[in-house]
């Protein structure tokens, strides 16, 4: 299956409603870890050149957008979504890698981070050099955490004062990558899997409280 991946622009505004609906439907089906985003918000990301759009012919196949926080010292690749008919073709990884490259181009000195419950996204992040971190190492910009209000688990985040939730925090810090050896991909992934197992045990404790 062939896909076209582009940095979205004003010519792609017609897809904003479809993208918003994709995110909403995925949030309802998964039940965790995805915050809804209205079409107007998606449109703003498209027109500002801060979004990656994947198309199959003329249909939306996937999407991801860039957000900045803490006076552009932190950058998040958010809203990663692949339409159900186009899953299992490696598209999510391609979108994420293109969003990562665009983020590094636009904000070369910024720390890239994200929070997710998706093991597939965690694996992609790990392959790009992200490492799992506590929430204290992420941005302290209140606007970012307010964005989690669209997630059904927002009450868990509030109860733990933004220090813990069901999501896993991941961070790419260019200051620790430039000029230093990076562990091999398989080593990073094995180390990350051990972290996920530990994280899963903590999630169970949170849910049982």
Domain ranges of the chain: 4-208
Average pLDDT over residues 61-86: 94
Of the listed ranges 61-70, 83-92, 106-115, 194-203, the one predicted with least confidence: 194-203
Write down the pLDDT at residue 11: 97
- SS3 string of 57-123? CCEEEEEEEEEEECCCCEEEEEEEEECHHHCCCCHHHHHHHHHHHHHHHHCCCCEEEEEECCHHHHH
Tell me the per-residue pLDDT of 78-109, one tens digit each, with 9 for 90 and over: 889 999 999 999 999 999 999 999 999 999 99
Q: Return the closest-CA partner of residue 53 out of 16, 5, 90.
A: 5
45 versus 164: the higher-pLDDT residue is 45
Based on the number of CB atoms within 10 Å of its own CB, is 43 exposed (0-12), middle (13-18) or buried (19 or more)? buried
The rounded mean pLDDT for the chain is 86
For the entire predicted model, the pTM comes to 0.79
Write down the pLDDT at residue 184: 53
Of the listed ranges 55-69, 122-136, 143-157, the one predicted with least confidence: 143-157
CA angle (78 as vertex; 73, 81 as ends), nearest 5: 165
Q: CA–CA separation, 2 vs 17, rounded Å? A: 23
Tell me the per-residue pLDDT of 134-164, one tens digit each, with 9 for 90 and over: 998 999 888 888 888 878 888 888 898 888 8
203 versus 8: the higher-pLDDT residue is 8
Of the listed ranges 13-17, 23-27, 60-64, the one predicted with least confidence: 23-27
Based on the number of CB atoms within 10 Å of its own CB, is 60 exposed (0-12), middle (13-18) or buried (19 or more)? buried
Percentage helix, strand, coil for the chain under 3-state DSSP, each rounded to 5: 50, 20, 30
200 versus 111: the higher-pLDDT residue is 111
Decide yes or no: CATH 3.40.630.30 for domain 4-208: yes
Residue 208, pLDDT > 90, answer: no
Write down the pLDDT at residue 180: 47
Terminal-residue alpha carbon distance, the chain = 45
32 versus 138: the higher-pLDDT residue is 138
Q: Please tell me whether residue 7 adopts helix, strand or coil conformation.
A: strand
Q: CA–CA separation, 125 vs 179, rounded Å? A: 20
Write down the pLDDT at residue 179: 41
């Amino acid at each position: 299956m062939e896909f076209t991946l582009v940095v979205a622009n004003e010519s792609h505004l017609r897809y904003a409603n479809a993208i918003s609906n994709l995110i909403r439907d995925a949030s309802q089906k998964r039940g965790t870890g995805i915050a809804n985003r209205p079409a107007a918000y998606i449109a703003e990301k498209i027109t500002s050149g801060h979004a990656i759009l994947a198309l199959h012919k003329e249909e939306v196949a996937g999407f991801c957008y860039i957000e900045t926080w803490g006076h552009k010292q932190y950058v998040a690749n958010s809203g990663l979504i692949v339409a159900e008919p186009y899953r299992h073709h490696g598209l999510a990884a391609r979108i994420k890698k293109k969003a990562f490259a665009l983020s590094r181009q636009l904000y070369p000195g910024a720390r890239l981070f994200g929070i997710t419950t998706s093991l597939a996204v965690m694996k992609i992040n790990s392959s790009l050099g992200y490492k799992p971190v506590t929430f204290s190492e992420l941005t302290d910009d209140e606007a970012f955490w307010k964005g989690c209000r669209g997630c059904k688990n927002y009450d868990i985040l509030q109860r733990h004062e933004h220090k813990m939730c069901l999501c896993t925090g991941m961070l790419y810090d260019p200051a620790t990558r430039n000029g230093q050896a990076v562990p091999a991909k398989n080593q990073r992934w094995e180390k990350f899997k051990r972290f996920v197992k530990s994280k899963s045990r903590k999630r169970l404790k949170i849910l049982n409280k």
